[in-house]
């Protein structure tokens, strides 16, 4: 399974960018984006930044990834999904 990671651009030359996530860095393509600046949060999938992220969305994605890791390790994971605890799942408008 492949996951998209919320990464922060550390440096870029317009074609590729050095991005960081959880203390690790990797160079990714930014050709699908329109000149993302240093400091921008991007969703990276298979070494390609596929879209810009708002700070809150990047935080939620990062928390969900940490939550999956906690669940796989048999640890409590509710704190990683605080936005979902104590509410019913909601279908997108087009599926209602």
pLDDT of 1 reads: 63
- The CATH code belonging to domain 5-81 is 2.30.30.140
How far apart (Å, rounded) are the C-alpha atoms in residues 4 and 14? 21
Q: Where are the domains of the chain?
A: 5-81
Q: Answer for the pair 11, 20: CB distance below 8 angstroms, yes or no.
A: no
**pTM of the complete model beyond 0.85:** no
Q: Bridge-partner residues for 42, per DSSP?
A: 7, 52
Distances in whole angstroms, Cα of residue 48 to Cα of each of 65, 72, 94: 18, 26, 29
How far apart (Å, rounded) are the C-alpha atoms in residues 88 and 13? 44
Residues in the chain where the model's pLDDT stays below 70: 1
């Amino acid at each position: 399974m492949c996951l998209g990671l919320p990464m922060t651009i550390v440096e870029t030359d317009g074609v590729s960018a050095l991005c960081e996530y959880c203390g690790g860095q990797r160079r990714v393509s930014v050709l699908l984006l329109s000149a993302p600046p240093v400091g921008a949060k991007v969703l990276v999938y298979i070494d390609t930044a596929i879209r810009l992220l708002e700070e809150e969305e990047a935080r939620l994605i990062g928390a969900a990834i940490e939550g999956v890791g906690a669940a796989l390790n048999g640890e409590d994971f509710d704190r990683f999904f605080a936005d979902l605890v104590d509410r019913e799942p909601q279908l997108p408008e087009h599926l209602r």
